[in-house]
Amino acid sequence: MSEFISIGTRFAPLPSPFPFKRGGSLLDGRVAFETWGQLNDKGSNALLILTGLSPSAHAASNADNPDRGWWEAMVGPGKAVDSDDWFIICVNTLGSCKGSSGPASINPESGQPYRLGFPDLSVEDCARAAKAVLNHLHIDTLACVIGNSMGGMVALSFLQQYPLYARSHINVSGSAQALPFSIAIRSLQREAIRLDPAWNNGLYTEGSYPRNGMRIARKLGVVTYRSAMEWDGRFGRVRLINDDHASEKFGPEFEVERYLEAHAERFVDQFDPNCYLYLSRAMDWFDFCLSCAKGSTDVVESLAGINIGSVLVLGAETDILFPLHQQQQIAAGLSQGGARVSFEALDSHQGHDAFLVDIEKFAPPIRRFLDERKAEL
């Protein structure tokens, strides 16, 4: 049961109590964040980054923490999200274990970790928690909200809950509602963790930790984050050089198996299993239609209720987890609502994770879009 908090992480308090959409509330909660660049005199250049399921607030190296961040190639001085132009704030999602309050945090009422006593988490709660950071920093207006993957869901909820607060939006490989294939994958990841005897209904310890469940969950994640096409070219049928199959029947034998193994090994001890379950379920529950006042069950029509100036929507053609037609829906809905929308379906082989790794394809449209916004400052 651990939180993973890197140096340089800053914290904003949540209103106390902080009520959750599905019931329950937090006392003395907090949200972790980091920043890059400076707020200008007009206070008009603030830019918010909302992350996927697992990243911390450390999007890139900065003065407080020189380590490489999860979006190092995209964020910083001279990068597409340029800290010479923007005051950039990245928030660790509520419910995570990277500094924001979550199931791995200490419940001040009991002095023990919340574990499954943490309230049911919704994407809408994550959006309100991000707003608490902006209030803490006295940000009155956002030049842009960028949301990737799960962060794309949080961003849509943010725009809906705080109309006219943000002037533009970049939605990257996002979705306005979870669809059954993605729900099935995430359900299976959660089941692998829950079926691990060491999970013990959330009461695991360091000595008895659901490593096996986390391994399966992470590997299944990696399989769906990338694309078959990328792997055909990258791994083909290449065998491991030290083929230890003789010693371990059914053990890893192909390069692609070692790749999954390396990903699992890096992840299992670096993310809290209960936090994983909460964040995963929050994505399944998200349906923009239900969070907007219009009462429509049509995604495009519901999104048209959002009032925002300029929007860039990006997706990868090989994404199987948040497929391209979901980004098309976002573009169509925000456009119908009156926004000037640019939509780009990027011909990237790297699937859902493309925005993290195929910077060559994703950086130019983001830079172009933000340069246009700079001219409006």
User: Given the complex with a second copy, which of 37 and 213 has the nearer CB atom?
Assistant: 213
CB of 185 to a second copy, least distance (A): 6
CB of 333 to a second copy, least distance (A): 17
**Residue 185 structure tokens:** 């994958």
Catalytic positions: 149, 319, 352
User: Given the complex with a second copy, which of 164 and 195 has the nearer CB atom?
Assistant: 195
User: Given the complex with a second copy, which of 195 and 377 has the nearer CB atom?
Assistant: 195
Q: Where are the alpha helices (DSSP H) in the chain?
A: 123-136, 150-161, 180-195, 211-225, 228-234, 255-268, 273-285, 288-291, 299-303, 324-336, 354-357, 359-375
Site string for a second copy, 80-119 (x = CB under 8 A): ------------------------------------x---
Q: Report the site for a second copy in 16-55 (rule: CB under 8 A).
A: none
DSSP H or E run through 344: strand 340-346
**Residue 94 structure tokens:** 């509520």
Q: What's the rounded Cα separation, in Å, for the pair 37 and 193? A: 40
CB of 115 to a second copy, least distance (A): 11
For tokens 């809290």, the residue is 272
CB of 132 to a second copy, least distance (A): 26
Task: Figure out which of the listed residues 88, 143, 279, 320 binds a second copy, where binding follows CB under 8 A.
Answer: 320
DSSP state letters, 38-82: ---TTS--EEEEE--SS--S--S-BTTB-S--TTTTTEETTSSEE
User: Is residue 266 near a second copy by the rule CB under 8 A?
Assistant: no
CB of 289 to a second copy, least distance (A): 9
User: Is residue 232 near a second copy by the rule CB under 8 A?
Assistant: yes
Burial class (CB in 10 A: 0-12, 13-18, 19+), 167: middle
User: Given the complex with a second copy, which of 23 and 111 has the nearer CB atom?
Assistant: 23
Q: What's the rounded Cα separation, in Å, for the pair 55 and 280? A: 13
Give the closest residue to 151 by CA, choosing from 123, 177, 131.
123
Degrees, nearest 5: CA angle 111-58-221: 85
CB of 111 to a second copy, least distance (A): 22
* 60 alpha-carbon distance from chain centroid: 15
User: Is residue 298 near a second copy by the rule CB under 8 A?
Assistant: no
Task: Figure out which of the listed residues 181, 262, 307, 347 binds a second copy, where binding follows CB under 8 A.
Answer: 181
Task: Figure out which of the listed residues 27, 164, 184, 262 binds a second copy, where binding follows CB under 8 A.
Answer: 184
Q: Which CA distances in Å does 77 have to 62, 197, 336, 354?
A: 10, 47, 35, 22
User: Given the complex with a second copy, which of 152 and 323 has the nearer CB atom?
Assistant: 323
User: Is residue 254 near a second copy by the rule CB under 8 A?
Assistant: yes
Q: Which CA distances in Å does 267 have to 11, 35, 248, 360?
A: 24, 25, 23, 26
User: Given the complex with a second copy, which of 169 and 215 has the nearer CB atom?
Assistant: 215
Q: What's the rounded Cα separation, in Å, for the pair 206 and 104? A: 13
**Residue 152 structure tokens:** 């794309």
Task: Figure out which of the listed residues 40, 187, 336, 342 binds a second copy, where binding follows CB under 8 A.
Answer: 187
Cα-flanking dihedrals φ and ψ of residue 15, to 5°? -50, 145
User: Is residue 234 near a second copy by the rule CB under 8 A?
Assistant: yes
User: Is residue 178 near a second copy by the rule CB under 8 A?
Assistant: yes
CB of 210 to a second copy, least distance (A): 11
Task: Figure out which of the listed residues 28, 64, 253, 301 binds a second copy, where binding follows CB under 8 A.
Answer: 253
User: Is residue 244 near a second copy by the rule CB under 8 A?
Assistant: no
Site string for a second copy, 204-223 (x = CB under 8 A): --------x--xx--xx--x
CB of 285 to a second copy, least distance (A): 9
| Binding stretches for a second copy (CB under 8 A) | 116, 177-185, 187-188, 190-192, 194-195, 197, 212, 215-216, 219-220, 223, 227-228, 231-232, 234-237, 249-250, 252-257, 260, 277, 281, 284, 287, 320, 323
